[in-house]
Amino acid sequence: MEILIPILIALLIAAVIAGIYGKAQRRKLFRKIATGMGCRYYEDDPFSIARRFEGKFSTLTNGSNRYAFNVIDGEWEGYPLRLFDHHNETYSHSKNGRQTHHHYRTFVLLEHDMHLGHLEIRPEGMFDKLKAAFGFDDIDFESAEFSRKWHVGAKDRKFAYDMLHPKMMEYFLTLRGFRISTNGEWGLYRVGSGRMNQLEIRRTLRAADGFIERVPRFVRKDREHLS
C-alpha cells in the first residue's frame, strides 16, 4: 500500500499537467483558426452565448454548469459567426460518492439573412429507430435512403418539405455526422457529437455553406421579411 501512494500521486500530477497542456493547445488552435479567418478570439465568453441561446436551442440545455469558452467572433461568407466550445456536466452516484462527468462540444453559430423557422437535421440514431418502432416517427421524405440516414424534426412540416427538396437531400447523402438546428435567423451547426478538431470545424463550415446555398429561392423570398 505504501508503494502505491507515490504512484497514485504521480499519476494525479501527470493528469493535471496533461489537462493544463491540453487546454493550452486548444487555445492555441482556436487562436490560429481565428487568425486564419480574420476573426477575434476570446478564451472566455464575453457574449453570454450559453445563457442567450439556451432558449433557442435545446441542445445547449444538457446537464448543468453550462458555459461557452474558446469563442471566435467575426464573419464567415458574409454571415455573423460565433464558433465556440461548450461545457456541461452531469452526475452519477456510486459507493464512492457522487461523480462529476464533464462534457465538451464545439458549435458553429451563424446568423442568416433569412428566417429558417425551427428545423433540426441530424444523423438517424438507434434511439430514433426505437421511437419509430413505437410509432413516434420523424418526418419521412420521398428518398427512402435519406429518411433512413437522417432524422428531421420541424414545427412546420410543409416548411421541412420545402427545404429538403431532392437536390438538398442528395447533398445530405454526401455528408457524414453533420447536425443542424435552426431557430429563426440563427443556425447552430456541428460535425460529430463532441469537441471538434480543426478538420471537423472546416467540414462543418463547408457543410453549412452547402446547406445555405441550396435553400430554395422561394423559401428565401417568403421568409426574408420574417428576419
| Mean pLDDT of all residues in 178-194 | 95
What sign does the CA torsion over 144, 149, 155, 158 have?
negative
The reported pLDDT for the residue numbered 97 is 80
Is the pLDDT assigned to residue 140 strictly greater than 60? yes
The reported pLDDT for the residue numbered 47 is 97
Is the pLDDT assigned to residue 133 strictly greater than 50? no
**Least confident span in 81-90, 144-153, 169-178, 201-210:** 144-153
Q: Rounded to the nearest 5°, which phi and psi values hold at 17?
A: -65, -40
**Residue 13's pLDDT band (boundaries 50, 70, 90)?**
low
Between 157 and 135, name the one with better pLDDT: 157
| DSSP reduced 3-state for 135 | coil
Please state, in angstroms and rounded to a whole number, the distance separating the CA atoms of residues 1 and 31: 45
| Mean pLDDT of all residues in 176-202 | 95
What sign does the CA torsion over 15, 18, 24, 30 have?
negative
Residue spans per domain, the chain: 39-226
| Mean pLDDT of all residues in 147-158 | 91
**Residue 34's pLDDT band (boundaries 50, 70, 90)?**
very high
Please state, in angstroms and rounded to a whole number, the distance separating the CA atoms of residues 182 and 75: 18
**58-114 per-position pLDDT tens digit:** 999 999 999 999 999 999 999 999 999 999 999 988 777 888 999 999 999 999 988
pTM of the model: 0.85
Is the pLDDT assigned to residue 218 strictly greater than 70? yes
| Mean pLDDT of all residues in 195-213 | 96
Between 113 and 188, name the one with better pLDDT: 188
Task: Give 117's contacts (C-beta < 8 A, 6+ positions apart).
Answer: 154, 155, 156, 159, 182, 184, 223
Residue pair 92/193 in contact (Cβ under 8 Å)? The answer is no
